[in-house]
Structure 1
Amino acid sequence: MTTARSLVLFVLAAVAEIGGAWLVWQGVREQRGLLWITAGLLALGAYGFVAAFQPDPHFGRVLAAYGGVFVAGSLLWGVLFDGFRPDRWDLIGAAICLVGVGVIMYAPRA
């Protein structure tokens, strides 16, 4: 149950952070305006709260592992919302990052 909760929180954190950054990008770079920027800032703030609910008590471990989720999630976001097509190296890199997430967060510890 703890692992499932942790995985759900990683997905929610990725949606909040990547989505928030994308909204700010759209507001500034695509000139969609202040409403998009504000929504992005709110989503980025929500990311901080979601990350704080991870069951592991160590900030550094959670944020280091989340980095791998961010890499893979960013590529997926680009596919879904920007028409990005990752090449095999993008996919291999993302897979390596996700393996790192598994090692960092879910390896057995004494």
Structure 2
Amino acid sequence: MTVVKSVLLFVLAAVAEIGGAWLVWQGIRENRGWVWVLGGVVALGAYGFVATLQPDAAFGRVLAAYGGVFVVGSLLWAVVADGFRPDRWDVLGASVCLVGVVLIMYAPR
């Protein structure tokens, strides 16, 4: 159950951080206004909170593993929100990152 909880928290953190950054981008770069930017700032703050809920107490380990989740989540977000089409190298790189996440977070110690 701990692994399931951890994975769900990584997904929630990715939605908060990537969504927050996307909202800020939309507000500034796409001229959608400061309400979008404010929403992004709130979401980014939520990401910081969600990361603290990980079962593993090692800050460095959690944030390092989240880096791999962020890579995969960013590509998925771009597909859904911006119509981005990853090529085989994007997919391969994201797969390598996910292997890294599994090793960092869930390898037996």
TM-score normalised by structure 1 residue count: 0.99
CA distance, structure 2, for counterparts of residue 76 and residue 95 of structure 1: 12
Residues 66-109 of structure 1 deviation map (CA, whole Å, 9 limit, x = unaligned): 00000000000000000000000000000000000000000000
TM-score normalised by structure 2 residue count: 1.00
Q: Give the corresponding residue for 2:87.
A: 87
CA distance, structure 1, for counterparts of residue 107 and residue 78 of structure 2: 30
Q: Give the corresponding residue for 1:59.
A: 59
1:11 Cα deviation after fit: 0.0
Q: Give the corresponding residue for 2:75.
A: 75
CA distance, structure 2, for counterparts of residue 97 and residue 22 of structure 1: 21
Q: Give the corresponding residue for 1:104.
A: 104
| Unaligned stretches of 5+ residues in structure 2 | none
1:35 aligned to 2:38? no
CA distance, structure 2, for counterparts of residue 23 and residue 85 of structure 1: 20
**Percent of paired sites with the same residue:** 74
Q: Give the corresponding residue for 2:46.
A: 46
Residues 31-88 of structure 1 deviation map (CA, whole Å, 9 limit, x = unaligned): 0000000000000000000000000000000000000000000000000000000000
Q: Give the corresponding residue for 1:24.
A: 24
| Unaligned stretches of 5+ residues in structure 1 | none
**How many residues get paired?**
109
